[in-house]
Amino acid sequence: MVMTMTTIDEQAAVLALTKATRDKPWFYTARIILDAGSALALLDRRCASRDADDRAHAADITAQVLPGDLAWARDLVTAMRDDGVHLVTVLDDAYPGNLMWAYDRQPFLWIRGDIRPNDHRSVAVIGEVDSGHAASAARALAQAGITVVAPLRSALDAAVHQAAHDAGGRTLAVLSGGIAEPATVDEYASMAEQIANCGALVSAFWPDAAPTDRTVALSRIVTCGLADCLYVVDGAAGGSSAGHVEQALQTGKYVFVSQRLHQEQPWAARAGSRGGMTAVQDIDELPKQAVNLIDMTPGTNTY
């Protein structure tokens, strides 16, 4: 991937502004960068927002950027690129279209592998215990030509990616830590390498960030954002699946759940009572419903 100096400078400015963001979630910074149309313009104190809070946030973070931050950021982009990882920011055309439409889009993504234009036709497969069911869902979706999105933190997640690959499909793995931090993939390092060859590893954190409860929660933003919709296999109240469902519904993403989950877990029924959720009776029905939903959704891809 060849980048011009202008692109590197803009990307470095995005990283510097994000680094300076301390008192608000990072998506606030992503929003004001998009409003300005240029991170470098923000650094020059040119904030285009009409919102007083956004103007105050812009003034705060630009004041926090240190003289050496841009050079640090350029060196980081170059070093990661040399390691086979490329950076995509909200200013880049390659920023995934599904995620761009989320209000809490992240300022940047580190990517090992590649995200392709057709990956916007994607379904996130989420679960906690039933690896067999999750793998069957991933296989059926991949056979229908749908890209599968999933975390890479558990045996169930690994089964999802493996099943989709075995069916000839592509997967996007959303990491819960830095893309260069070994603890992020831990025992699933070989699976991570396979995913990078058949899709992409995606991280919204600093490359050396270790996974924490906070980064795990924040990674749901990217998982739900990258996918056009979700399929949730199982999960207990207050668990990872419930967190993904809440995030998806907040950002307007449709959720499919297994019939068993809907019947056995009251939290799922309560979440579905707000709309935006369908219980799927069997795996064969999932790809049909997902394809119908995806193909009825206006294209949001920005590649």
Q: pLDDT truncated to tens, each residue of the chain (303 aa)? A: 445 555 899 999 999 999 999 989 999 999 999 999 999 999 988 776 678 898 899 999 999 999 899 999 999 999 999 999 999 999 999 999 899 989 999 999 999 999 999 999 999 999 999 999 999 999 999 999 999 999 999 999 999 999 999 999 999 999 999 999 999 999 999 999 999 999 999 999 999 999 999 999 999 999 999 999 999 999 999 999 999 999 999 999 999 999 999 999 999 999 988 899 999 999 999 999 999 999 876 544 332
> Rounded to an integer, what distance in angstroms lies between the CA atom of residue 288 and that of residue 144?
8
Is-contact 146 290, C-beta < 8 A?
yes
**Rounded Cα gap, residues 162 and 127, in angstroms:** 15
* Residue 212, number of CB atoms within 10 A of its CB: 12
Query: How far apart are alpha carbons 277 and 268 in whole angstroms?
Result: 9
Buried b (16+ CB within 10 A) or exposed e, 256-295: bbbeebbeebebbeebbeeeebbbbeebeebbebbbeebe
**Model confidence pLDDT, tens digit, residues 211-265:** 999 999 999 999 999 999 999 999 999 999 999 999 999 999 999 999 999 999 9
Spatial separation of the C-alpha atoms in residues 210 and 77, rounded to whole Å: 19
Question: d(Cα 291, Cα 242) in Å, to the nearest integer?
Answer: 24
Contact between 57 and 28 (Cβ < 8 Å): yes
Nearest alpha-carbon partner for 168 in 131, 140, 196: 140
Can you tell me the distance from the alpha carbon of 9 to that of 26, in angstroms, rounded to the nearest whole number? 20
Strands (E), the chain: 85-89, 108-113, 122-126, 147-151, 171-174, 199-203, 229-232, 254-258, 277-280
Q: For residues 139 and 132, what is the distance between their CA atoms, to the nearest angstrom?
A: 11
- Return the DSSP state at 101: T
pTM: 0.93
Tell me the Ramachandran region of residue 235: left when phi exceeds 0, alpha when psi lies from -120 to 50, beta otherwise: left
What residue has token string 């309560």?
Answer: 270
pLDDT score for 301: 38
Count of Cβ atoms closer than 10 Å to residue 164 Cβ: 29
Residue 257's nearest CA partner among 123, 102, 120 is 123
Angle (nearest 5°) at CA 157 between 151 and 159: 150
CA 159 to chain centroid, in Å, comes to 19
